[in-house]
């Protein structure tokens, strides 16, 4: 039974406005918090589930995960909808969440068409950060499809509507969740109810596929049972980068063991700009929490102001130390000799460069060149996915080579230098977190006189 507009819950504290959606397990309402005059979302189990044999298990997990999500909300993650409380009205459990204003990714793509690569990657990286945070708490979202990603007017993406208890399939349902969203779920979730983090990796990669192509991917069950091919996104939109294309295909690998082992592993490949997202998350949450407490408890404002001041001082000191490390690294970058001996190196997950030009798992070198020289830089690697970047001293990129093919472990740049300059070479011999050894050499041919 659906609640009608005007239905009062928790002794009139909440008043139902309208139904926002209904799936196989739950129904969500838009409601008003009467005393605060704020919009909220209330999610409840479907009423007919009470006749299911597993109803008590469903409610038990609904309550448990609702409590965990409420604790997660204490950190005020900017890309996860905040859970306010869990209460019982009669014999119905209600999970109260903030109302997020904006449009879901499904509607945005339907109205605007496919997203530009930069915008899509930024959105997905924000949601990926949120999912990685959820995984650290021992949860898996299991429903990170475009309908559950809200794009706000300020450019932020917010993850909503957790897929609580999706492994408990009611006998009255023929599929797991909304059939329209099944193209974004891996087959082990649909067939076995898996709760592994790799489920979210597949779902988010499939969502990125949809965002950059405006086409739904084939369902994983079609791929598994009927050998339906997954068309590479670059075949649909040729202008997207090879790297994005490969990241999507890796995240959507049919078998879970072939996907990235964690959301962070996938994000490190996807985040081409090296935004160092994992470093800045915790301070941002702490500041957000302090601001919320400041607004809610006026009697403790002095203590909060003092605490915030200490926090700002600590972060500033940490930032100064970090800048000092970057400056030290920038002036101590090894020199790659022209026509000299081959440089050998080994990368690992701990080998994160603090050089201001690059923040990925890579090594940085400098090479001195003259205008008109034809500079050739070659890398030979024993690991998958080597790449080379050549930049001028002002940071502008001059050349880039990324050999993604698993059959080719070499990368090569050939470029005519535009000016006398100290050029920066960024070399990576493997996917982030993997150990890879490589050799690197630079050769120059003088310009003809």
> Comparing 75 with 241, which gets the higher pLDDT?
241
Domain CATH number, residue 210 = 1.10.510.10
**Average pLDDT value for the chain:** 79
How much is the pLDDT for 303?
66
Residue corresponding to tokens 């605060």:
36
How far apart CA 224 and CA 326 sit, in angstroms, is 48
**pLDDT tens digit string along 181-232?**
667 999 998 888 788 899 999 999 999 999 999 999 999 999 999 999 999 9
How much is the pLDDT for 167?
44
367 and 268 within one domain:
no
The verdict on residue 290 lying in a domain is: no
Answer with the one of 241, 259, 277 that is the final residue of a domain: 277
The verdict on residue 146 lying in a domain is: yes
Q: Residue 284 — pLDDT band, cuts 50, 70, 90?
A: very low
Least confident range of 213-217, 224-228, 388-392, 426-430: 426-430
167 and 254 within one domain:
yes
The verdict on residue 283 lying in a domain is: no
Assign residue 176 a region: left if phi > 0, alpha if psi is -120 to 50, beta otherwise?
beta
379 and 273 within one domain:
no
How much is the pLDDT for 120?
94
How much is the pLDDT for 146?
94
Query: For residue 299, is pLDDT > 70?
Result: no
Query: For residue 418, is pLDDT > 70?
Result: yes
Domain tally, the chain: 2
Closest CA to 164 of 180, 179, 148: 148
How far apart CA 84 and CA 42 sit, in angstroms, is 10
Beta strands in 34-107, from DSSP E residues, in sequence order = 38-45, 83-89, 92-98, 103-104
**First-to-final CA distance of the chain:** 87
How far apart CA 177 and CA 9 sit, in angstroms, is 27
The verdict on residue 425 lying in a domain is: yes
- Estimate the crossing angle of helix 242-251 against helix 197-213, to 10 degrees: 140
The verdict on residue 260 lying in a domain is: yes
In percent, the amount of the chain with pLDDT more than 70 equals: 74
Q: Give the mean model confidence (pLDDT) for residues 57-76.
A: 80
Assign residue 3 a region: left if phi > 0, alpha if psi is -120 to 50, beta otherwise?
beta
The two three-digit tokens of residue 107, written as one number: 């509607």
Q: Give the mean model confidence (pLDDT) for residues 138-155.
A: 88
CA angle 353, 261, 431 (to 5 degrees): 35
How much is the pLDDT for 34?
93
How much is the pLDDT for 298?
52
Check the CA dihedral 31-129-277-403 and report its sign: negative
Answer with the one of 257, 277, 297 that is the final residue of a domain: 277
How far apart CA 436 and CA 441 sit, in angstroms, is 17
How far apart CA 115 and CA 105 sit, in angstroms, is 10
Least confident range of 19-28, 118-127, 209-218, 233-242: 19-28
The verdict on residue 412 lying in a domain is: yes
Check the CA dihedral 412-417-418-420 and report its sign: positive
Beta strands in 352-435, from DSSP E residues, in sequence order = 363-369, 374-381, 387-391, 397-402, 410-416, 421-428
The two three-digit tokens of residue 160, written as one number: 């909503």
347 and 273 within one domain:
no
How far apart CA 242 and CA 79 sit, in angstroms, is 27
Domain that holds residue 370: 343-445
365 and 271 within one domain:
no
The residues, ordered by sequence, that sit 6+ positions from 246 with a Cβ below 8 Å of its Cβ are: 269, 385, 404
Pair type for strands 92-98 and 83-89: antiparallel
Closest CA to 142 of 178, 116, 171, 173: 178
> Comparing 218 with 289, which gets the higher pLDDT?
218
112 and 215 within one domain:
yes
The verdict on residue 138 lying in a domain is: yes
SS3 (DSSP) at 374: strand
Residue corresponding to tokens 């535009």:
418
How far apart CA 240 and CA 288 sit, in angstroms, is 35
How much is the pLDDT for 407?
52
189 and 109 within one domain:
yes
Answer with the one of 277, 301, 319 that is the final residue of a domain: 277
Cβ pair 348, 429 in contact under 8 A: no
360 and 271 within one domain:
no
How far apart CA 303 and CA 76 sit, in angstroms, is 20
436 and 360 within one domain:
yes
Domain CATH number, residue 347 = 2.60.120.380
How much is the pLDDT for 438?
77
348 and 270 within one domain:
no
212 and 85 within one domain:
yes
The verdict on residue 313 lying in a domain is: no
111 and 202 within one domain:
yes
**pLDDT tens digit string along 225-261?**
999 999 999 999 999 998 899 999 999 999 999 999 8
Least confident range of 109-118, 137-146, 241-250: 137-146
User: Does the global pTM surpass 0.75?
Assistant: no
How much is the pLDDT for 98?
92
């Amino acid at each position: 039974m659906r609640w009608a507009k005007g239905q009062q819950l928790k002794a009139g504290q909440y008043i139902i406005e309208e139904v926002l959606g209904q799936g196989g397990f739950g129904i969500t309402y838009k409601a008003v918090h009467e005393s605060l005059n704020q919009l909220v979302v209330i999610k409840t189990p479907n009423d007919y589930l009470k006749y299911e044999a597993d109803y008590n298990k469903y409610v038990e997990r609904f309550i448990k995960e609702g409590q965990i999500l409420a604790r997660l909300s204490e950190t005020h993650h900017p890309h996860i909808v905040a859970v306010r409380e869990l209460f019982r009205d009669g014999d119905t459990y209600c999970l109260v969440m903030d109302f997020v204003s904006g449009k879901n990714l499904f509607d945005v793509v339907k109205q605007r068409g496919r997203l530009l690569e930069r915008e899509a990657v930024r959105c997905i990286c924000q949601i990926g950060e949120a999912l990685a945070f959820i995984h650290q708490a021992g949860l898996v979202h299991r429903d990170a499809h475009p309908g559950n990603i809200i794009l706000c007017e300020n450019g932020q993406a917010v993850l909503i509507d957790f897929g609580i208890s999706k492994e408990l399939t009611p006998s009255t349902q023929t599929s797991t969740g909304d059939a329209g969203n099944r193209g974004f779920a891996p087959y082990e979730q649909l067939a076995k109810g898996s709760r592994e983090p790799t489920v979210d990796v597949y779902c988010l990669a499939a969502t990125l596929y949809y965002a950059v192509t405006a086409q739904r991917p084939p369902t994983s069950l079609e791929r598994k049972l009927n050998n339906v091919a997954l068309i590479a996104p670059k075949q649909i939109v040729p202008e997207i980068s090879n790297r994005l294309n490969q990241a999507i295909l890796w995240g959507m690998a049919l078998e879970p063991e072939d996907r990235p082992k964690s959301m962070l592993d996938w994000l490190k490949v996807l985040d081409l700009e090296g935004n160092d997202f994992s470093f800045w998350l915790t301070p941002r949450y702490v500041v957000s929490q302090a601001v919320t407490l400041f607004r809610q408890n006026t009697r403790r404002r002095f203590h909060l102001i003092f605490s915030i001041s200490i926090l700002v001082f600590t972060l500033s000191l940490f930032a100064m130390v970090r800048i000092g490390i970057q400056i030290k690294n920038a002036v101590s970058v090894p020199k790659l000799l022209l026509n000299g001996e081959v440089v050998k190196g080994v990368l690992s997950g701990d080998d994160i460069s603090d050089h201001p030009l690059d923040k990925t798992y890579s090594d940085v070198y400098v090479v001195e060149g003259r205008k008109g020289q034809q500079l050739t830089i070659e890398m030979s690697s024993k690991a998958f996915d080597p790449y080379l970047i050549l930049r001028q001293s002002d940071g502008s990129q001059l050349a880039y080579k990324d050999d993604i093919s698993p059959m080719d472990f070499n990368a090569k740049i050939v470029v005519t230098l535009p000016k006398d300059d100290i050029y920066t070479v960024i070399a990576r011999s493997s996917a982030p977190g993997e150990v890879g050894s490589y050799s690197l050499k630079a050769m120059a041919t003088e310009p003809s006189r």
